[in-house]
Structure 1
């Protein structure tokens, strides 16, 4: 197996399915709010049988062993291939799949690049599959329900004018114990967002626990379980500002048991900071032995992280001593993998050595005595346009100088719902992906089509008059809270997106379960797209590109790890997604099965 094959990673946490079907509105003493129109729940049809044509690859190892089991009877062998679960009961198949010749191809250098020129033919295949005229039809205009009656909310807060400094959401990701919480905590301390008295309190508490080096992590790890175990569980959140930008820091958990929580944090992020431990054996355990470095980087890209800063932490450790050879070794192993995840390494990835505990290369440069080789590499020079590989040698300088792609405030509003709670009305949380929103605006909640008004608007808990793309917002409105669910999308009523139960997509298969090592029609798993998590079933495989020969095959019966495929996916209830080419924020997704990320993909066309 290739050392840099994303399929080498193994994960074991089993996330439960998120149920977001709108509940019935709670009864009140006053006039009850109208019940929102229920979401259509179509019955998922059994996928059509594969074509009967004999399009077998005679050199395929699986075909050879199946034909041998069938005693040379081709018809019987073809029939056996149509029942992967029964086929996997034969020890010869297991032995063949464990052989060096099985599935040893890496995924494409960039899974997003494979989509060039593929949307049109795949759409034709998907529509031809069941020539249903309504598939390509324009959806009917959404009916505007009456705004729900509720007690008028008294607005006491005074809204502030918008802060014109650019806002960035930063998520800290990486393997457990790489130093994510320590780094994010020290950034807050060094930028004067945590006072000295608080730090002294945390130092005393950490010393009492015999964990003196954990005191900076306590800034972000606030609950007792996290401090006792030294492991982040929930996504920590904090805000800071510099002269150049406003930041929201999201500290994601690194343990494999909390990957769903990490997904929640990464779905909000613009920039990812991948924290790597340079300490002897710690990088290897996170990257090459089933750690979370691989999965976190892959998920970050598919969840919309535009830029990645890889900080090689613990460079001051006695096993490293700021050795350039160790830094170069780590960078050389990460670059090919990050490219396979879809990152354009030269333009979108930056590498730098740091010490999160001592603060070296965070706000101030590391001393030349400790690290004589880093400073000369980053003398000020004019850099090419549209690149994140600036000459900034310190983390905060790099973030301040990072130019995000144009965010269009005039585009149709899209706010994937992250959470909701009750506080004098329903309060809806989310990040503005595109468009803008103002207090008093009329908004629609999709896929239910419920319309309401923005009674109050907040960014980072501060009341404002208007919010722009990239802002984390809270909206207070007069909706029944049970009608709002994570994964819904807020929009303007006049530019509502389509909600679908079926779409075509492109997938890169990066890993599969040992017990389900063939990806076939009918395969069911969990879909993670923007803030939505729901069960999904494979409708039909449309094309497959062999990882070795790059030859495309139409209507394959199954696919293996390393293969790039196009297929249709079906969900039981309508969700809001968009073609990746039109709205990348709503078009990237990950498929997970029993705690393992098995595929990364992009939406090609909305079908029904």
Structure 2
């Protein structure tokens, strides 16, 4: 069944340039450290104690989508104001108070000079930026004088110890001093393409095992962790599930062997960076699969070659069919079909079984709207053994396969160009508290920098970007297609919900209660075989899940001519293409498909079944929210 028209050929709207970010400095005084750093805005020296604890576990590169996890600690960027270089120890000791005062004054003077020199050398500090003057620093010095005598003794001892250690290392050379070096260059932006890959397919096809194997082969999980999971799986008499434990992190998923939530992980090759989205395969969790697929650029349809399992997933009611159709509807136009479990005793890497599956799948995928010659590729793998995944197939296992490995096939996927200068759009899929409000999502348009001012729609909350995390790293800039965690100021966590959209202030995303859409009716329920005004369903559009009602059928489209029929339409049946007016019960953020395809395509589900796919064709101007 083909789509009503070519939805993927639309162009995006004209777009605006992103804002720039300013460097930030921090000040921390640790009496047990050999040196200290300075923040001009700090009110006083704050003694700290060293921390010897560990932040705890979590797998490298992995974060569950819906778990309120605290992000791992991130290395801070170097401060533009350099730490002072300690002076060599004085030949004769001075009284403790005098030593503390002299050391503090000397370091403050050096800081002032170092900061001025860094600013002059780099040209980073402009006339419009706030720079502390000598009098400001002197004011900080006076505030520092309020330290207790005990703290002053500790500071003096720490300075002397640092001086002695540096003297032993020969670090007191003026040529090697950090103050004399130019400031660090701006953060390098990783130019490797980033792809979001969703693993879809019938339950028990091996999606989570493949995801875990990918992380292991790309060195995101160490051998000790794998051995731990092997022991846990053996204790539960599920020896073959141990790789899936990397992706399935909660006890319910491990006990049942079924993915419930969309697992998220990250890995890299020399050519590309990837975010894995491990979608659940059970029919009860299709809404979660839709959430994962809506964020994806590439799909990996996992099919079990084991005798009987392919047939179960592909027959009517199997999730192989529904997942492939939904992925195309949600904008996943590139598809790799991974024929898994080729090592099973019932298959034995037989070329005949691989060819049989490919022959049955190709006509179906073509009917879903995929370009099977250009955008669909089949390859045999073993997720459990890791064969034909990172490295090409070993001929002793499969002599007939000369094609690429899974990693090579992913690297070869070509994505359409993305414009980083468009109005910012980031649908939110999750939120949690961590030293403020942190939101998660994928940038669909535009780019973001630390310090940007944005607006959260539909509640019109004006926010500022405090920190940007890509994978597990803090970055100052992110471009379209990136999956991010962003810490915001100006909004509380409880005031944000999944489906809200972080957008640019100048061009906020429209907020509507109704819109016109073009629908393609797939297969209606047996007891609701007529689609007419009053039909109620669940709308899935980007990260929004909302109840809706068809309030009017506007016109029916002839599937052959693509033109409206003249006859007034009162109802349609399965297979029809119709333009309707849809009403939602809560305000949602949407875009016209022609402006932002990824924010204008949707599905309608009823009683756990996908009954229609659609695209937004018109927004009512009266209900479109504009910048106030």
Regarding TM over 0.5, the answer is yes
User: What CA distance in whole angstroms lies between the structure 1 residues aligned with 2:493 and 2:228?
Assistant: 39
Q: Tell me: CA distance 1:509–1:162, structure 2 relative to 1, closer, same or farther (3 Å).
A: same
Corresponding residue SS for 1:516:
coil
The answer on 1:292 being equivalent to 2:319 is yes
Aligned 8 A contact 1:161 1:464 in 2: no
Q: Tell me: CA distance 1:557–1:272, structure 2 relative to 1, closer, same or farther (3 Å).
A: same
Per chain length, whose mean CA-contact separation is higher, i.e. which structure has more relative contact order (CA < 8 Å, sep 6+)?
1
Q: Tell me: CA distance 1:206–1:236, structure 2 relative to 1, closer, same or farther (3 Å).
A: same
After superposition, give the CA deviation of every residue in 1:404-436 in whole Å (9 maximum; x if it has no partner): 110110111110111111222211111101110
Q: What is the match of residue 216 of structure 2?
A: 189
Aligned 8 A contact 2:515 2:583 in 1: yes
The answer on 1:583 being equivalent to 2:596 is yes
Find the partner of 1:595 among 598, 608, 623: 608
Aligned pairs for 1:439-588 within 5 A: 439-478=450-489, 479-545=491-557, 553=565, 554-588=567-601
Find the partner of 2:266 among 206, 222, 239: 239
User: What CA distance in whole angstroms lies between the structure 2 residues aligned with 1:193 and 1:421?
Assistant: 25
Aligned 8 A contact 1:427 1:477 in 2: yes
TM-score by length of 1: 0.70
Corresponding residue SS for 1:200:
helix
Corresponding residue SS for 2:199:
strand
> In terms of Rg, which structure is larger?
2
After superposition, give the CA deviation of every residue in 1:94-141 in whole Å (9 maximum; x if it has no partner): xxxxxxxxxxxxx3x233438999xxxxxxxxxxxxxxxxxxxxxxxx
Aligned 8 A contact 2:211 2:278 in 1: yes
Q: What is the match of residue 321 of structure 1?
A: 348
After superposition, give the CA deviation of every residue in 1:348-391 in whole Å (9 maximum; x if it has no partner): 2211111111222111222334333221xx4xxxxxxxxxxxxx
Aligned pair count?
450
Find the partner of 2:435 among 421, 424, 433: 424
The answer on 1:308 being equivalent to 2:335 is yes
Aligned pairs for 1:332-411 within 5 A: 332-375=359-402, 378=403, 393-411=404-422
Aligned 8 A contact 1:181 1:221 in 2: yes
Aligned 8 A contact 2:342 2:348 in 1: yes
Runs (4+) of structure 1 moved beyond 4 Å?
114-117, 153-157, 545-552
Aligned pairs for 1:87-126 within 5 A: 107=1, 109-113=2-6
User: What CA distance in whole angstroms lies between the structure 2 residues aligned with 1:325 and 1:604?
Assistant: 46
Aligned pairs for 1:62-81 within 5 A: none
Q: What is the match of residue 18 of structure 2?
A: none
Find the partner of 1:276 among 285, 303, 309: 303
After superposition, give the CA deviation of every residue in 1:40-96 in whole Å (9 maximum; x if it has no partner): xxxxxxxxxxxxxxxxxxxxxxxxxxxxxxxxxxxxxxxxxxxxxxxxxxxxxxxxx
Q: What is the match of residue 129 of structure 1?
A: none
User: What CA distance in whole angstroms lies between the structure 2 residues aligned with 1:371 and 1:112?
Assistant: 41
List alignment gaps of at least 5 residues for structure 2.
11-40, 43-72, 78-186, 624-628
User: What CA distance in whole angstroms lies between the structure 2 residues aligned with 1:433 and 1:498?
Assistant: 15
Q: Tell me: CA distance 1:581–1:437, structure 2 relative to 1, closer, same or farther (3 Å).
A: same
Q: Tell me: CA distance 1:512–1:317, structure 2 relative to 1, closer, same or farther (3 Å).
A: same
Aligned 8 A contact 1:111 1:340 in 2: no
After superposition, give the CA deviation of every residue in 1:466-487 in whole Å (9 maximum; x if it has no partner): 1111111122122122221111
Aligned 8 A contact 1:253 1:261 in 2: yes
Q: What is the match of residue 103 of structure 1?
A: none
Residue 527 (structure 1) shift: 0.4
Find the partner of 2:444 among 425, 433, 438: 433
Aligned 8 A contact 2:8 2:597 in 1: no
Residue 320 (structure 1) shift: 1.9
TM-score by length of 2: 0.68
After superposition, give the CA deviation of every residue in 1:155-178 in whole Å (9 maximum; x if it has no partner): 996256433222111111110000
User: What CA distance in whole angstroms lies between the structure 2 residues aligned with 1:232 and 1:111?
Assistant: 33
